[in-house]
Amino acid sequence: MMSARLSDRATLHVTGADAEPFLQNLVTADLDALAPGEARPAALLTPQGKILFDFLLSRIDDGLRLDVAAGARSDLAKRLTLYKLRAKVAISLSDEPVGVFWETGEGPAGAVADRRFPTGVFRSYGMDVDEGDPAAFEALRLSLGIAEAERDFPGSDVFPHDVLLDQNGGVSFRKGCYVGQEVVARMQHRGTARRRVMVLRAEGHLTPGANVEAGGRTIGTVLSAHVGLGIGMVRIDRLVDALAAGASLSADGVPVEAEVPSWAGYALPEAGSGGEA
């Protein structure tokens, strides 16, 4: 079993009689599908449908836990407070440490399964976790194309489809309204998601922020990288056209290969179609 303490993550708790309906009406995920013992991805959007904050949701006594980038936690708490109005909820910052365990069939007692990963990854809250190997966990995350706000992309810059929240259960297309729902539902119905997170593998060092190019044309950006492994935001219509034309991919002159994350269900469009299949 591998483990690491995630010092760049923090939690806040939303508790009280109205905690679940309060969040159900705000966030992208369907809380009715959230089972005890698991953490599921979700986001709070702008009215224009872009991600303000993304986080992992899990159940606690009398409410829910939000596991978010540490640097965004206070702003998320303030944003939720703006929506609180007369709802019977309490929004509190927690000092519980956040840890992760992987390469295991079961997590330690009290840990919850991180549903962004296909299998074998567990989050822990409030446990005494050694520093461990955060770099190894980062490599695992990147190898599976799992993007996180603040670390990989800034708030208010991407849609849920861009970072695959539509693929991992982070967006519900069946529950009622939430902030930004109309835009997200329209993208799903029309199949207009053209930007997608893809796994990048290079023969040399990948630089975050570098353009991904094909035949002299920019088709994406490297979001994060660990040596020759990274994730990028790629225009999949431009990628398909470039591959059909026999163009090779590069980032800062380093040859790159781009692949759909192994767990994701989206398909590349037909060449020249301008959209996702």
pLDDT, tens digit, for every residue of 216-267?
999 999 999 999 999 999 999 999 999 999 999 999 999 999 999 999 989 8
The tokens describing 238, both together, are 């431009």
pLDDT class of 57 with cuts at 50, 70, 90 = very high
- The pLDDT value recorded for residue 277 is 42
What is the model's pTM? 0.94
- The pLDDT value recorded for residue 270 is 79
DSSP per position, 198-239: EEEEESS---TTPEEEETTEEEEEEEEEETTEEEEEEEHHHH
Q: Are the C-beta atoms of 48 and 199 separated by less than 8 Å? A: no
Question: Any residues with CB less than 8 A from the CB of 37 and at least 6 apart, and which?
Answer: 112, 113
- The pLDDT value recorded for residue 136 is 96
**Nearest to residue 176, comparing CAs of 30, 35, 40?**
30
- Mean pLDDT of the chain, nearest integer: 95
The tokens describing 24, both together, are 């159900």
- The pLDDT value recorded for residue 150 is 95
